[in-house]
Structure 1
Amino acid sequence: MVKLGSYKENVRLLMVVVGESEPESESESESATEETMLLWGIQQPTLSKPNTFVSQSSLQLRIDACGHSLSILQSPSSLLKSKPGVTELVMWDSGVVLGKFLEHAVDAGMLLLQGKKMIELGSGCGLVGCIAALLDAQVILTDLPDRLRLLKKNVETNLRHGDLKGSAVVKELTWGDDPDQELI
């Protein structure tokens, strides 16, 4: 047990090792998921240091997910004008955590994405949508018109596997405009 975060609460540290023994019970698996999210919340990395896991000064992020090595490109122009709170075309810790959470939840049998239709609003670099497609979901990734080029490149680069059962389509969506009928 250690004290973490600004609340200084006691938390048991977790280390998830892929390929090791399976959880003994469903409650143990749920407990690990809940604890992972609790650790994320208590550690509050964004309060002390923005993007603890992902460097926004790098042009590329490599992450292993769903048995594939994903390569996510970030926008060099966004990085050059980077100021606190910039959200365009750079990876954020929350995207990595959500993507890995989805992967874990599907692997643990707590979530079924196979054949499900999903829409990701404000996809940015597209990591979460790519992971959902690798988990067999039919995903529509959306963002503003000026952000689609990099998003499409990341989707094409990471989802050209022959064994992909899900799908990913990139669509433009500007808040306030009438959405494409396919999005509805």
Structure 2
Amino acid sequence: MATAEEAKIEGDVVMVSMGSYGGKVKLLSVGEESAAEETMLLWGIQQPTFSKPNAFVSQSSLQLSLDACGQSLSILQSPSSLSTPGVTGAVMWDSGVVLAKFLEHAVDSRMLLLQGKNIVELGSGCGLVGCVASLLGGQVILTDLPDRLRLLKKNVEANLRHGNVQGSATVRELVWGDDPDRELIEPHPDYGRGIYT
């Protein structure tokens, strides 16, 4: 924990240096209602800048198994595609696993409501985050480049064919910089995500 001289008060917020990040972060007090903030802060502190990029996911594996939303998800990967320059969406990244679990936690703790919300995921990659958002009730459109769609569709079909899907999931092609199809922007999505996972 930071000493008094290491802490800096900005308004009602106490900022401290923690972990290997080196910058100031918000100090969360005991009993503060935002468990999501604490989860993300702890994740950041535990990941020193010199650590390996993926602690949860083996990118050499053909499949990732993960429990989410009361079921076991199986995400197929294509590690051989990583040798192609610019291809990142063929494997899972820790950021996708963290975001998927964050969404599940946020909905379970009633901090976030996805039921019936229109969600567009940009750069869906293997599709874990979009699948979880759909299981949590979102009307999700998962998008990626044309050469990534086959793997993405397989993962969506394999993980959302069960009867306990509260939302829906559709896979669409989207090349960044091209004009998007109307169904992606009208009506405006309630949530959008543009992190490659």
**TM-score interval (norm. to shorter):** 0.7 to 0.9
Corresponding position of 1:127: 128
Corresponding position of 1:17: none
- Supply the distance in 1 between the matched residues of 2:66 and 2:55 (Cα, whole angstroms): 15
- Supply the distance in 2 between the matched residues of 1:82 and 1:107 (Cα, whole angstroms): 38
**Aligned residues of 2:59 and 2:79 also touching (Cα < 8 A):** no
Corresponding position of 2:20: 5
C-alpha distance after superposition, 1:44-94 (max 9, x if no partner): 256421111111011100000000100000014225x278x8513110000
1:35 aligns with 2:38: yes
Secondary structure in structure 1 of the residue aligned to 2:169: strand
Corresponding position of 2:137: 136
Residue 116 of structure 1 deviates from its aligned partner by: 0.3
1:150-169 maps to which residues of 2 (within 5 A)?
150-169=151-170
Change (3 A) 1:28 1:65: farther
**Aligned residues of 1:143 and 1:174 also touching (Cα < 8 A):** yes
Residue 43 of structure 1 deviates from its aligned partner by: 2.1
TM-score, with structure 2 as normaliser:
0.76
Change (3 A) 1:178 1:101: same
Aligned residues with identical type, % of pairs: 76
1:54 aligns with 2:57: yes
1:29-108 maps to which residues of 2 (within 5 A)?
30=34, 32-44=35-47, 47-79=50-82, 81=83, 87-108=88-109
Corresponding position of 1:24: none
Change (3 A) 1:38 1:164: same
Structure 2 counterpart of 1:41, one-letter code = G
**Aligned residues of 1:130 and 1:158 also touching (Cα < 8 A):** yes
TM-score, with structure 1 as normaliser:
0.81
Unaligned stretches of 5+ in structure 2? 2-17, 25-30, 186-197
Corresponding position of 2:194: none
Change (3 A) 1:162 1:147: same
- Which of structures 1 and 2 has the larger relative contact order (alpha carbons within 8 angstroms, sep 6+)? 2
